[in-house]
Amino acid sequence: MSVWSKRMRPADGAAWVTGASSGIGRAVALRLADEGWTVWATARRADALEALAAERPGKILPLPCDVTDRGGMAAAVAAITAEGPLALAILNAGLYIPLRAQEFDAGKAAKTFDVNLNGVANGLDPVLKHMIARRDGHVAITASVAGYRGLPRAAAYGATKSALITMAEALAFDLIDLDVRISVINPGFVKTEATSVNDFEMPFVIPAEEAAKRIVEGLKKPGFEIAFPRRFEYILKTLGLLPNRAYLAVMRKLMGWDERVK
């Protein structure tokens, strides 16, 4: 069986979801629990994790940790694997800070990089060591369609998501031969606390529960990328084929950016 067809089930071990206190991560944790998984839920906010666990007693286990804490993430995976195999890891924690040229701030960029990119690397390190040693498992990284090409206000956010897509692709070259499946999850606009700061109309926006459904179903199917909504994915991938000047002109028009920058 191809590694791309590998489908992990609750009987194979536990699931781990980072960024589980809100938004997509929270919805994914609940959906996995409803499908029979024992889910270890990680985020910084212990109270939010306790509230989440109370919704699925015995199925969701709170495991507070800051993804930027490399040692803490290693300890979290050690705690999970001390109880049994880790079959599925969804590295989902992320931060969105809108950033435009007029307000570019290196500190905000660094914070975004630390959570979105380094935070994933901090999880990948112990997860891959565990799964490669067992020659089994499935790790999924939540990136974004914002990683395809540059989008307005996403100078730092888009850069991290592009990097995550590249990271997942690079790791896939090795993992194919090590019986460990890797997936990249590229959502479009999802209604969450993070996107609530957007003051523009978000095309094809969907609720977090719908995003979780598409992610969990996508993890069961063969392939590398889970992207949605499909129409938005296809539009952005098609526009991404344009030369730079044409791409920038079209996106400015579509996003109403000619009016916004005045």
Domain boundaries, the chain: 3-232
Average pLDDT, the chain: 93
Among the listed residues 67, 66, 163, 80, the one whose alpha carbon sits nearest the alpha carbon of residue 124: 67
Residue 249 makes CB contacts below 8 A (sequence gap 6+) with none
Cis status of the peptide bond prior to 229, with omega within 30 of 0: yes
CATH superfamily of 3-232: NAD(P)-binding Rossmann-like Domain (3.40.50.720)
Q: Which band of pLDDT confidence, cut at 50, 70 and 90, is reported for residue 253?
A: confident
pTM confidence score? 0.92
Q: Which band of pLDDT confidence, cut at 50, 70 and 90, is reported for residue 24?
A: very high
Summarize pLDDT for 202-216 with one digit per residue, the tens. Answer: 566 788 999 999 999
Higher pLDDT, 252 or 243: 243
Strand-pair category, 86-91 with 60-62:
unpaired
Is 90 exceeded by the pLDDT of residue 52?
yes
Is 90 exceeded by the pLDDT of residue 125?
yes
**Cα–Cα distance measured from residue 151 to residue 117, given in angstroms and rounded to the nearest whole number:** 18
Summarize pLDDT for 172-226 with one digit per residue, the tens. Answer: 999 999 999 999 999 987 876 665 566 556 566 788 999 999 999 999 999 999 9
Among the listed residues 18, 30, 152, the one whose alpha carbon sits nearest the alpha carbon of residue 95: 18
User: What does the pLDDT read at residue 26?
Assistant: 96
Q: Which residues belong to the active site? A: 157
